[in-house]
Amino acid sequence: MAEMSSRAQRVADQMRREIATLIQMEVNDPRVGMVSITAVDVSKDLAYANIYVTVLNSLSNNGQADFDTLSEPGDLDKLEVAENIKALNKAAGFLRSLLAKRLSLRVVPKLKFHYDASVERGQQLSKLIDNALEADQNQHSGD
């Protein structure tokens, strides 16, 4: 993400809070599951906003609802992510109009949603570190 001015940063922070609330309360599209807004990147002229979201898996391996964890990314998860992003981008105009009512801006930025895989990569790295530590302990305990 590029360096933002202090005003653009304040607008981005306010937009992140408002969009998270609006998605939860106002978007009725069944394709939109549990999403978390990780970042908002606003252009210098406040005309465009890139919104980065993480999609929390709504189903675990046994088919039960599990909103606390992200499972390993598989083909179904990629489809779920793609559908969520597609639905959010389709609802962008609706969300923009609701934002206009909540924010005191002359022009509300055009919204574009993107998937943020940083949480997923962080979990994979954490798992690799845990596996390496476990292997190291097993090696030293065997000596």
Residue 104 has pLDDT above 80, yes or no: yes
Residues β-bridged to residue 115: 53
Tell me the domains of the chain and their CATH numbers: 6-117 (3.30.300.20)
Does residue 68 or residue 74 have the better pLDDT? 74
Q: In which band, very low, low, confident or very high, does the pLDDT at 99 lie, cut at 50, 70 and 90?
A: very high
Name the H helices within the chain: 6-25, 75-90, 92-102, 118-142
**Pairing mode of beta strands 34-42, 110-115:** unpaired
The per-residue pLDDT for range 15-57, each reduced to its tens digit, is 999 999 999 999 888 888 888 899 999 999 999 999 999 887 6
Predicted local confidence at residue 96, as pLDDT? 94
| Identity of the amino acid at 85 | I
| Buried/exposed code over 101-116 (b: 16+ C-beta within 10 A; e: otherwise) | eeeeeeebbebebebb
Predicted local confidence at residue 140, as pLDDT? 84
Return d(Cα 22, Cα 15) in angstroms, integer: 10
